[in-house]
Amino acid sequence: MHERREGEINLSLTGLTAHELCELLRNREISSVELTRAHLERINTLEDKIRAFVTVTADLALSQAKETDAKRLRGEELPPLAGIPVALKDNMCTKGIKTTCGSKILYNFIPPYDAAVAEKLNEAGAILVGKCNMDEYAMGSSTENSGFYPTRNPYDFNAVPGGSSGGSAAAVAAGESVIALGSDTGGSIRQPAAFCGVIGLKPTYGAVSRYGLVAYASSLDQIGPFSKDVTDCALALNVIAGHDPKDSTSAPVDVPDYTKFLVNDIKGMKIGMPREYTGQGIDPEVNVCLRQAAARLEELGAVCEEVSLPHTEYALPAYYIIAPAEASSNLARYDGVQYGLRVEGDDIISMYSKTRSQGFGEEVKRRIMLGTYALSSGYYDAYYLKALKVRTLVKQDFDKAFEKYDCLLTPTTPSVAFNFGDKINDPLAMYLSDVCTIPVNLAGIPAMSMPFGMVKGRPVGIQLIGRAFDEGTLLRVGYALEQNSDLTRPRPELKGVM
């Protein structure tokens, strides 16, 4: 097995995909230690500019890599992602490793157990290089709401990477990690994937265990992968999907081999294009890219037709009642007593109040207050119950569309990545960043964002939406588009940092 001398790093390795690197590892052209060192060096080179990580686990990563190399030398049969560097959003518990949720209130929290997805990645032989930055408790669309520092977009350091999984998306885009996991409550995987020019998949609700994921809104949260291409996305989904008896929301369904859907053939497939996703508020240049993607799919033999999802306009207000209401309940546990930050007070009530006041950021406080209000006596029926009814109508829209279409095609976001400070002081404008992604979470169905073109030097994301537990169709359509267009694989230049 070829091993480079100490201090000699092959930075070209950080630009390759997981399946390309797996081949090099299997053929012993590189070692896992060499690959891991290359990514850790990449992190050291870029982190002062990008700040994608809250915690870098260099010692653990090198230890895992050495163990993997030793197994390979002994001729052991290794799992699918053996030796591949990965990162986790910092709201997934990792045993013995700090898990902060991007919040000062959990600045010192070290979980005693692994989240189910962390356990599965470890069993698959993946190398954990670190925990990624995020909007505090996954509440935000820009990673500006992190309790520590903002993450920057690798394509333009003046631009946000999206949120709340901005650190995970930026880490993959910048080559700091080969694959990363994020969580998606209203678009928090797909929106940053679009802004950072990578693949981001939100699986069907219940397809991936939420055990060990720190909850924001329990009926909406779902873990999913970021990757450089569709093949890597399928490989990651193969590892993390599946029923988990420790998670009551986990669905007992069979998990296919998602790589079997990676076929370059979509002839005869019917793809709907909801008109509600391309109207007012959507950047015309983003719509141009969407139409180019549709034209390419038609050239490949698919049929693209306009369809209507009439209740789409009500999804955003319904979401911002349901999600804060669930957050109000979930975040009640952070009281200064059980774990995390404690600010002493004159009595237990003042201790609660001071801990939450000083530990939570402004956006988290805003959503707790919104949720508590919506659940309060006299307003539950008027707001929360009505929002649940709207959720049902949104799901019925999708069900009706899928009677005719194999999947739907929309923009992922209304615009490309915006600049820091543009929306941070206007919560409503920030919330509108997720207008194209939120309906999917309300319906509990899968959706994947993939890059297609650039506007003003920043990536455009298009979104494929599918039936429940039909991630395979999304991967098939995305793979065909990726194999037949140069617009699906942008790469940041990272000027001035290399």
Does residue 277 register a pLDDT over 80? Answer: yes
Q: Which of 109, 152, 131 is nearest to 359 (CA)?
A: 109
Tell me: the pLDDT tens digits for 432-448? 999 999 999 999 999 99
Whether 327 is in a domain gets the answer no
* pLDDT, mean over the chain: 95
CATH number of the structural domain spanning residue 78: 3.90.1300.10
| pLDDT score for 338 | 82
Of 141, 188, 250, 328, which is the active-site residue?
Answer: 188
Range of the domain at 59: 11-317+384-488
> Is 250 designated active site?
no
Whether 378 is in a domain gets the answer no
The rounded percent of the chain whose pLDDT value lies above 70 is 97
> Is 188 designated active site?
yes
The pLDDT-based confidence of 6 (bands split at 50, 70, 90) is very low
Whether 337 is in a domain gets the answer no
The pLDDT-based confidence of 377 (bands split at 50, 70, 90) is confident
The pLDDT-based confidence of 495 (bands split at 50, 70, 90) is low
Tell me: the pLDDT tens digits for 129-181? 999 999 999 999 999 999 999 999 999 999 999 999 999 999 999 999 999 99
Whether 59 is in a domain gets the answer yes
| pLDDT score for 340 | 86
Count of structural domains within the chain: 1
The pLDDT-based confidence of 12 (bands split at 50, 70, 90) is confident
Backbone angles phi, psi at 294, to 5 degrees: -60, -40
Does residue 190 register a pLDDT over 90? Answer: yes
Does residue 11 register a pLDDT over 80? Answer: no
Tell me: the pLDDT tens digits for 218-250? 999 999 999 999 999 999 999 999 999 999 999
Whether 233 is in a domain gets the answer yes
| pLDDT score for 490 | 93
Residues 177-194, mean pLDDT to the nearest whole number:
98
Whether 498 is in a domain gets the answer no
Whether 187 is in a domain gets the answer yes
The pLDDT-based confidence of 195 (bands split at 50, 70, 90) is very high
Angle at 474 between CA 179 and CA 447, to 5 degrees: 75
Does residue 7 register a pLDDT over 70? Answer: no
Residues 330-357, mean pLDDT to the nearest whole number:
90
The rounded percent of the chain whose pLDDT value lies above 90 is 93
Of 31, 103, 146, 164, which is the active-site residue?
Answer: 164
| pLDDT score for 2 | 43
| pLDDT score for 246 | 97
Whether 494 is in a domain gets the answer no
> Is 164 designated active site?
yes
Give the number of other Cβ atoms within 10 Å of residue 3's Cβ: 11
Of 31, 89, 227, 328, which is the active-site residue?
Answer: 89
